[in-house]
Structures are given as structure tokens and as C-alpha cells.
Chain A
Amino acid sequence: MRRVYLDNNATTPIAPEVLEAMLPFYRDNFGNPSSIHAFGREVKVAIDEAREQVAALLGAAAEEIVFTSSGTEADNLAIKGTAHALRGKGQHIITCKIEHPAVLNTCKHLEKEGFKVTCLPVDEYGMIRLEELAGAITDETILITIMHGNNEIGTIQPIEEISRIARERCIRFHTDAVQSLGKVPIIVQELGIDLLSLSAHKLHGPKGIGALYVKKGLKLQPILHGGHQERGQRAGTENVAGIVALGRACQLAAQHMADEAKNLSGLRDGLFEGLQERIPRVKLNGHPTKRLPTTLNCSFYGIEGESLLMNLDLAGVAVSTGSACSSGSIEPSHVLVALGLPPQLYQGSLRFSFSRYNTQDDIDYILDILPPIVERLRKMSPFWKE
């Protein structure tokens, strides 16, 4: 059976170049980078190089990169690390409703510790409103954490404007760029970002390795205590193979990003146009233009996403849905609900997410098999009238 993987926002396949780069560190180069002998030094060199590669993609300095175990840990370190370091200055944090759970639940946890959290709403495209952000700031505000590109709908927030507002009020600005890095250009200095989270497995690297960009001079309270690794900001013997892989993945992204972005947005828009031609009442979720080139989220009025997903799975196609009970939770997607969609739409959403390994053939296959599935499921729906 033909298999088509269009769930790259969940995770991406490892690039062969990345796998090749990391394997020696599971075989021959096993040293501990903290050791002074040759075994250690070889590995230390590899980590330093990877740090340069990650920094280069962001336009940052190598010493501004802290390797972590995941995007989730990077978000935790940025948010808890700031909250605990700046507690004396204030106890207010601003975020928004469509953040990844790694941010939302970290903020919720801080609320239990006595911090106050403002969770900004978004408009129908998933954009925060800058006036609302400015209006939410108080003398107590120590951190603004607003994601770069959203994982479900791909909407890209006005990062430069947000950082300007933060800077004017001397507030730290963190952005979760896990989905955006390597997909759209992000130069931290130009955008005025203080802290930025990233994760290798969304970038054709392995799972379980991420990093936090920490602007020079910013103090964070570590969340892991132990050795002096990562300049004391993240204790624990380094995941050397993972770090090397992340470095190589960033280097590849830097090389291919411009071409890839053009290709992927072509595939993405071609799929949506094709669906619209073949299927009535398909609605785009997310911003029509300010959106990751990797992400197409749309709703098929009157049918439920899990039914669509299972039918596609039977035909070899992997996508995801924001409908309830699709991923072990019984709540529908908090992102689609935040857009103000009614159940007939948020329950009927599919997310197609692309990577450099997708082709026009994949799109043609979906356009072949999906219309009859939608037609069949709509016949079952009490909301659908011919």
C-alpha cells in the first residue's frame, strides 16, 4: 500500500545526513566531554561545533545556546528559570491561549506557586492583538511568552512588534519557535528575542534533544541542579549524539530553508485549492498568509476529524486532527476552540503538515482518496444536507 506521511508537525523523519553525523557518537566517540583526556576532548570539539551550527541558524553567538532534553524542557527552563530569577522584581507573566501545553501547563504550574498569569485571547486567525498585549502589562510583569508559529494552525505571531512592546517596558520576551525554526528565517537579534525554544525532532533530527537560546547577560534560575555543564544552566552529562545531530539538522536547514519554504508552501496551497475544488464547505483554519509553509489545517463541515483520520489511515495516509478524544484527551483542541469555531467545524478539522520529503505525488494521492471519504462520512452526518 502507498504510504504518505503528512504529520510532520508531530515529528519529522530523521534526515540521512543527520543520522550519519550522530552514529559515530554511539560507537567510537563515547567519551565524556567534561574529561580532559583525548576521548573527552574529541567529543567536546563536536559539541562546540554543533553549538556553532545551532547559533548560526539563529544569528546568535555559540555561548548563547543551552542544550536541553527537548523543546518542552527549553520552554520550562525559559519560563520557570525567568520566573524564579526575577521573582523579586514582579510576579506577572503574559502568554496566550494557543500556546503549546509545554508553555501553558508551565504557566499554570507557576500560578500555583503564586505567580499571576494573563492568557491573551486570539482572533479568528489565531493572532494575538497587540493592544491587548500592551494593555495587559503591569509594573509586576516580568515575562511575555508568545509562540512564533503555532503547531496546529501554523499562524505566525507578530514577533517583532511583540518584542518591541516588551523592550519598551523592560520585560523579557520568550518565544517557542519549535515549529518555526528552519522553516522560516529567524534572526534573534533582528527580532529582538531574549529567549527562544527549539527542538531537533521537528527539524529532521532525533527526539529527546532541544535547545534554548538565552541572550547574553540574561540570568535564569536552573531547573536541574548538578554538574557545571552548559555553563551551569543545565546540569547533566550531555546527550552528545543528539547535540551533534541537532547541529547538523540546523546546518541542513540553513542550507535548504529558502528553497524548501517555496516548495512546501506550493504543495500546501496546491492541496488546499485542490480540496476546495473537489469538496464543498472546506474551511481554512489559521491565517491565510502569515502561516508556516509546513502547515495546512482545514475543517470539513459536518464530519468529525477522527472518522476522517481513521479512513485516511486505512488508505496509508498519516495526518492529525483537533477533534476531541483524538490523542487521549477528551477535550477538543484548545487552539481551534480559541479561534471561536463551532463544534461542527472544530470537530471536523484535519492538519496536514509537510516536510522536505513530501512531493506533488503525495498531494495528488490525497486529492484522489479524500473526496469520496468526505462524501461517505457526510451522508452519516445529521448536519449535512445535500
Chain B
Amino acid sequence: MTNKLGPYSDKVMDHFMNPRNMGEMEDPDGLGEVGNPVCGDVMRLYLRIKDGIILDAKFKTFGCGAAIATSSMVTEMLKGKTIEEAKKITNQAVAEALDGLPPVKMHCSVLAEEGLEAAISDYERKKGQIS
């Protein structure tokens, strides 16, 4: 008998069953939507940014347990970070914060890293247009 669900750590299961910062945001300062070419799964990330600091992050994800948990974790990691700090967050760092992912599931965490990159470049593009 095993009580452990599938291949995931307790932390992954926690973020999967109780995702943090799930939802949408009106007029986000940065919006990223990325898809996983392997499986077709999609993550959308919303950022509220003021004076170069990420104040809030929200996500919506169509994906497996690993995709949902990494989306949730990356929003937690982003809050309070400067843009420069945020750019340094990698998918490995997100996976580590979740006590690891099974090897076949590492590709799912790429969604979080790419979503983050897309949202920040959207922010930078918008800012560039204004000033």
C-alpha cells in the first residue's frame, strides 16, 4: 500500500491541491502566455509591477499537476522581487523550491520559467512604449 500520490513530493501536492495566487488580474503591467510544445499545455502569468518591484503575481494554467504546482510556486517566488532578481529565477530553482520533480516532469517546469520571461518582456516593451 502506498499513500504517496503518484510521483510527487508533499510540497508539489500541496501547491497542486491549494494553488497560491490562482486567478486573473485586470490591466496587468506584464502578461505572459506560453505553451509547452511537447504536450500542448499552457500557462498565463500576470504581474503587477511598481518602481521595478513585483508587487503581485497571478496565474492560470492548463496543465498537469507539476505544471500547476510550478505555476503556483513561481508566483510566490516572484512577489517582492526586483525585475533583475526575477529574471534570474530558473525552472530548476522553482522545482527545487517544491522539493524536486520527477525527471519526466522537469519539462513541465519550463512553462514557469518561460511564462516569467514572457511576462517581464511584455512589461519592458510596454514601459518602453510609454517613456
Interface contact A307-B68, CB-CB below 8 Å:
yes
Given the interface pairs A307-B16, A310-B5, the reply to whether A383 lies near B62 with Cβ below 8 Å is: yes
Within the complex, which residue of B33, B40, B65, B104 is in contact with A347, where a contact is CB–CB below 8 Å?
B40
A165-173, A269-277, A323-331, A355-363: which lies at the B interface?
A: A323-331
Question: Please, which residues of chain B bring their CB within 8 A of the CB of A380?
Answer: 19, 22, 60-62, 68
Interface contact B65-A343, CB-CB below 8 Å:
no
Q: Mark B6-26, 1 if CB is under 8 A from A, else 0.
A: 100000000011010011000
Interface contact B64-A304, CB-CB below 8 Å:
yes
B116 part of interface (Cβ distance < 8 Å) = no
B39 part of interface (Cβ distance < 8 Å) = yes
A35 part of interface (Cβ distance < 8 Å) = no
Within the complex, which residue of B23, B40, B61, B66 is in contact with A343, where a contact is CB–CB below 8 Å?
B40
Interface contact B62-A382, CB-CB below 8 Å:
yes
Question: Please, which residues of chain B bring their CB within 8 A of the CB of A302?
Answer: 62
Q: Mark B22-41, 1 if CB is under 8 A from A, else 0.
A: 11000000000100001111
Interface contact B62-A381, CB-CB below 8 Å:
yes
A332 part of interface (Cβ distance < 8 Å) = yes
Interface contact B64-A306, CB-CB below 8 Å:
yes
Expressed in whole angstroms, the minimum distance between the Cβ of A337 and any Cβ of chain B is 10
Within the complex, which residue of A313, A323, A344 is in contact with B5, where a contact is CB–CB below 8 Å?
A313
Q: Mark B75-104, 1 if CB is under 8 A from A, else 0.
A: 000000000000000000000000000001
**CB under 8 Å from chain A, chain B span 34-56:** 38-44
A379 to B19 alpha-carbon distance, docked (Å): 11
Given the interface pairs A330-B107, A347-B39, the reply to whether A325 lies near B60 with Cβ below 8 Å is: no
Expressed in whole angstroms, the minimum distance between the Cβ of A239 and any Cβ of chain B is 28
Residue on A nearest B45 in the bound complex, by CB: A382
Interface of A is mostly: loop
Expressed in whole angstroms, the minimum distance between the Cβ of B38 and any Cβ of chain A is 6
Size class of the B contact interface (CB-based, 8 Å): 20 to 34
B67 part of interface (Cβ distance < 8 Å) = yes
A303 part of interface (Cβ distance < 8 Å) = yes
Please tell me the number of chain A residues within 8 Å of chain B, measured between CB atoms. 27
B108 part of interface (Cβ distance < 8 Å) = yes
Within the complex, which residue of B16, B33, B38, B108 is in contact with A331, where a contact is CB–CB below 8 Å?
B38
**CB under 8 Å from chain B, chain A span 353-382:** 379-382
A382 to B40 alpha-carbon distance, docked (Å): 13
Question: Please, which residues of chain B bring their CB within 8 A of the CB of A307?
Answer: 16, 63-65, 68
**CB under 8 Å from chain B, chain A span 288-324:** 302-304, 306-307, 310, 313-314, 323-324
Interface contact B42-A382, CB-CB below 8 Å:
yes
Residue on B nearest A311 in the bound complex, by CB: B17
Given the interface pairs A310-B5, A325-B64, the reply to whether A343 lies near B33 with Cβ below 8 Å is: no
Interface contact A332-B62, CB-CB below 8 Å:
no
Within the complex, which residue of B17, B60, B62 is in contact with A304, where a contact is CB–CB below 8 Å?
B62
Q: Mark A75-105, 1 if CB is under 8 A from B, else 0.
A: 0000000000000000000000000000000
With A304-B64, A379-B23 given, can you name 13 additional A-B contacts, CB distance below 8 Å? A303-B62, A304-B62, A307-B64, A307-B68, A325-B64, A328-B104, A330-B38, A330-B39, A330-B104, A331-B39, A380-B22, A380-B60, A382-B60
Please report B residues at the A interface, Cβ cutoff 8 Å.
Answer: 5-6, 16-17, 19, 22-23, 33, 38-44, 60-68, 104-105, 107-108
